[in-house]
Amino acid sequence: MGTSFRVFGFDGKIYGPVPTASLLEWAGDGRVQRETWIHVEPGDLWRRAGELDELSSVFTVPSEASAVPASHEGPAATRAGVPAKHLTRLKVFSELTPEELEPFAQQMVEQSFRPFSMIVTQGSHGDAMYFIIQGKVGISTKGQVAESFLVTLGIGDTFGEMSLFDPGPRSADVRAENDVIVLKLSADSLAKLTTDAPVAAGKFLWNIARLLSARIRAMDKKAASAKDMDAAGKAVH
């Protein structure tokens, strides 16, 4: 019996077993990244995809001069400007009229991503937010020892909002879990909109503020719940 592999997906599920040919195909189209965990069978060994001899032809050793991480392939397709109707399914535009949506639609950049490809990389420069109009993405953070999965987002959800106001390093990885289409709005585009369409921009910014406030409350509630569970556990012991 030949060697087979199981792939630990970004969604926390294990796929396989698959033969070497399938693993090579997945790595070639971006569904398996250099840092993806792979279980080698027979045996009981988990290794990073970039460490496997079978994938050496796909994951070549990056040069020190490389400016873009090997796991960040970028969008499969990109086009500027979208129909305004695409924005009607997004909550942050719910209070804008069709006329107010038009300047936003002109500033949007539509990008499509293949399954398991990176959309945003932790630590990279952030200067835009994203709106999901097709598919699902997974968000995770890398620590010194392990990667922590945070949440899955779907159609109508957004990420990267803080980059519109604070163009600092990205705080998490965002990876496509299937075929994904997002709309990208850059900080420069938003600045232009505040001048060209101030009323529409004001409504949008107000909705973004409410969205961020809701997330902060949810995080506070989750932290408080975890603290209560920890205190209850200590009380039992």
* C-alpha–C-alpha distance, residues 173 and 187, integer Å: 19
* C-alpha–C-alpha distance, residues 111 and 75, integer Å: 6
pTM of the predicted model as reported, rounded to 2 decimal places? 0.63
Q: What is the pLDDT of residues 57-72, one digit of tens each?
A: 887 644 333 333 444 4
What domains appear along the chain, each with residue ranges and CATH number?
4-55 (3.30.1490.40), 77-225 (2.60.120.10)
Distance set, CA 36 to CA 44, 63, 118, 224 (Å): 16, 20, 12, 33
Residue 195: what pLDDT?
Answer: 95
* 173, two tokens: 């990885």
Q: What is the pLDDT of residues 114-166, one digit of tens each?
A: 888 889 888 888 899 999 998 899 998 876 556 677 788 998 899 998 888 88
DSSP labels, 166-204: ---B-SSEEEESSSEEEEEEEHHHHHHHHHH-HHHHHHH
